[in-house]
Amino acid sequence: MNRTFASLVAGTALAFSSTVALAASDIVDTAVSAGNFKTLVTAIQAAGLVDTLKGKGPFTVFAPTDEAFAKIPKADLDALLKDKVKLTAVLTYHVVPALVMAKDVKPGDAPTVNGKPIKITVVNGVVMVNNAKVIKTDVVASNGVIHAIDTVLMP
């Protein structure tokens, strides 16, 4: 874990306890309620990650929208949804095992549950995660936060 992200993670404990206490739904239920993460929720179910993402956390999920998944050719997406090992690797690459609110995001590498880091950059106020643009931030859940992205990240 690089120093920038380590200091970011250390500084989020108070933000987590005060911000997330207001949310009643976990990451999965929050994604369902949002309405634009149907494919992501289907993928989470197919990978058997529902219980994990309903767990204690905190988690920061860079969540691809349905439009992001639509960029993947249908045959490729169907194959991914049937390959539990690859699907799990892709989905866990979207999850940082800490709470990172938008105001706390700093450029640098961030560890993921997958084990491979994602690269966060900020250019002219636009936050990018690898090649994905963050299009909505701080969808708060009881066990973390969701930031919507416009592209599915591939490890």
Residue-by-residue pLDDT tens, the chain, 155 positions: 433 333 344 333 333 333 444 467 999 999 999 999 999 999 999 999 999 999 999 999 999 999 999 999 999 999 999 999 999 999 999 999 999 999 998 899 999 999 999 999 988 888 999 999 999 999 999 999 999 999 999 99
- Which pTM does this prediction carry? 0.85
CATH number (domain holding residue 139) = 2.30.180.10
- Give the C-alpha separation, 61 to 31, whole Å: 10
Domain count, the chain: 1
Domain that holds residue 36: 3-149
Kindly provide the b/e burial profile for residues 136-146, where b requires at least 16 CB atoms within 10 angstroms of the residue's own CB.
eeebbbbbbbb
Kindly provide the b/e burial profile for residues 69-81, where b requires at least 16 CB atoms within 10 angstroms of the residue's own CB.
beebeeeebeebb
Give a yes or no: residue 39 inside a domain: yes
Give a yes or no: residue 155 inside a domain: no
| Helix pair 74-82, 84-92: axis angle to 10 deg | 100
Give a yes or no: residue 154 inside a domain: no
What's the distance, CA 73 to chain centroid?
22
Give a yes or no: residue 133 inside a domain: yes
